[in-house]
Structure 1
Amino acid sequence: MSMLTHTDDQGRASMVDVGEKDITRREAKAEGYITMNPETLALVAENGLKKGDVLAVARIAGIQAAKQCSHLVPLCHPLMLNFIGVEFQLEKDKNRIRIETCCRLSGKTGVEIEALTAASVAALTIYDMCKAVDKTMSIEGIRVLEKSGGRSGHYQAVDDGR
């Protein structure tokens, strides 16, 4: 296993110096799920909640979150993202919404944290907009699906049938 990159020789938190890295095209995809009662999922699908279009608001929240990563995660570099995508799949057979995010840039550091943050905040927004009708919701399975670019190369998560 490799050494942690965000600590110095004394084990103190430290921001990674990416100044000497090459600029490459980098992309990361992440996913997460929010499970809810079937009636709640139907309300989301029918746009029947008083707070408005849940998925439209969650998409915007995810995009905003990816852009704010360096303000939320202490050692995260501020990045000039070229693309942020947030998509939803209503999985009625599992009473949940699958969230998939994608972040891209040409830069010196990866975008995994941005993709993960977008998925997390999109899920939190769905929770917030639905909590008045469903207190039993759960957020789970937030993970990196794939990343490319940079020295560490390509990574793809194993399909575990979630």
Structure 2
Amino acid sequence: MEKTFTHIEAGRARMVDISEKNNVTRLARAAGEIVLSAGTIEKIRTGNVEKGNVFATARVAAVLAVKKTPEIIPMCHQIPITGIDVDFKIEEEAVSVVVEVRTVGKTGVEMEALTGVSVALLTVWDMVKSAEKDETGNYPHTLIRNIRVLEKIKG
């Protein structure tokens, strides 16, 4: 009979033991996008965002997020990050980001890549939110979507 959990049981959370696993070269690529108004896209394209360089700021935020993933995702292992690449693309109605994370370790880096993407997109939102607000202070066009793992390579 399958046990159904209807509440969180105290003491049941645990980190997976990876002590017997070998160090292996690993890579994960994740992506996502933020939908923005045409005016905001143009401000990013021309470098006219009030807060400054959107991509430089979001790139640094993504790198910091990758490095701090075990601090914010409770069951993630601390692993040595050997490389991080963050690439942005301006599309017609959105800005997309791809974060690639590399390690030589005992577990994968997909959570780090996903965290990097998420924080990069949140940082873009923060950088452009004054341009995205409507007259009521809401964000009718702004949307973060399609956050996903593109690939995970081991070995």
**What range is the shorter-chain TM-score in?**
0.7 to 0.9
User: Shift of residue 50 of structure 1?
Assistant: 1.2
Query: What are the superposed Cα offsets for residues 81-100 of structure 1, whole Å, 9 maximum, x if unpaired?
Result: 000111001012xx101110
Measured in 2, the distance between the counterparts of 1:36 and 1:11 equals: 43
Which residue number corresponds to residue 148 of structure 1? 153
Match of 2:100 among 99, 102, 108: 102
Which residue number corresponds to residue 109 of structure 2? 111
Q: Percent identity?
A: 41
Which residue number corresponds to residue 48 of structure 2? 48
Greater C-alpha Rg: 2
User: Shift of residue 12 of structure 1?
Assistant: 1.5
Which runs of at least 4 in structure 1 moved beyond 6 Å after TM superposition?
none
Which residue number corresponds to residue 157 of structure 1? none
Q: Which amino acid aligns with 1:124?
A: L
Unaligned segments of structure 2, at least 5 residues: 1-9, 133-138
Measured in 2, the distance between the counterparts of 1:101 and 1:107 equals: 18
Length, aligned pairs only: 139
Q: Which has the higher contact order (CA 8 A, sep 6+)?
A: 2
Which residue number corresponds to residue 29 of structure 1? 29
TM-score (norm 1): 0.83
